[in-house]
Amino acid sequence: MNESPYSFGRSGSVTSTETRNRVLRNTYWLLALSMVPTVLGAWVGVATGFSLFATTSPAMSFIAFMAIAFGFMFAIERTKNSSLGVFVLLGFTFFMGLMLSRLLTFILGYTNGPQLIMMAFGGTGMIFAAMATIATVSKRDFSGLGKWLFMGVLVLLAAFANVFLHLPALMLTVSVLAIAIFSAYMLFDVQRVVNGGETNYISAALAIYLDLYNVFTNLLMLLGIFGGNRN
């Protein structure tokens, strides 16, 4: 398949072991760095009661979110070969932190809200550690997963639609599917770097960040549904 500017971190070519190790190392460093603006954005959002276009309908808010998010991702892909790409990515993660604040505010309404957030964070970390380890040490080629994991994009849309449109009947099913699909995407995306299929650490960090973000948000929603305690 030809490389596309809309591949958002899932395209590249096979390279040397030294280059692959460098890309993987830089990807992990950038992922760690991206958590800082994400947390900052979430804190600002919770503290200010941020809501994207609160005066409009939920559907319009969702459309606005998608337009801004895909605008950021397009800009990241366009600048990924320069240091500017790092700053655009960090700006994107700050925005995603802002968007996360609405869910966090809801969860913090539970008496055990902070514990639920830490459980979701820890669970996401454990899933990532497991998937990254498998991707690094396994001799099996998981590149074939990409054919059906593209459905994860649709799950991403559905997951955010549940946040903005409040569709409780679908939330549980979507959240479970999202966790499964984006956990598999972690395996797929990390192995692409390990095998030399992705040679740009900014693109790789973007792809894995989206995997982590979606696992965390959907795991947190499930924990809120099944473990949240009201006063």
Q: What's the number of CA atoms in the CB half-sphere (13 Å) around residue 31?
A: 22
Whether residue 11 lies inside any domain: the answer is: no
Whether residue 127 lies inside any domain: the answer is: yes
* Domain range for 94: 17-227
Contact in structure between 97 and 37 (CB atoms under 8 Å): yes
Whether residue 29 lies inside any domain: the answer is: yes
Whether residue 1 lies inside any domain: the answer is: no
- Give the count of domains, the chain: 1
- Please give the span between the terminal C-alpha atoms of the chain, in angstroms, as a whole number: 54
Quick one: DSSP state of residue 145?
G
Quick one: DSSP state of residue 143?
G
Whether residue 5 lies inside any domain: the answer is: no
Residue 3's H or E segment, with its range, is none
For the full predicted model, state whether its pTM sits above 0.75: yes
pLDDT in 10s for each residue of the chain, 231 residues: 333 333 444 544 445 778 888 999 999 999 999 999 999 999 999 998 887 665 556 677 778 888 999 999 999 999 999 999 999 999 999 999 999 998 999 999 999 999 999 999 999 999 999 999 999 998 887 877 777 777 666 765 655 555 555 556 667 777 888 899 899 999 999 999 998 888 899 999 999 999 999 899 999 999 988 887 876
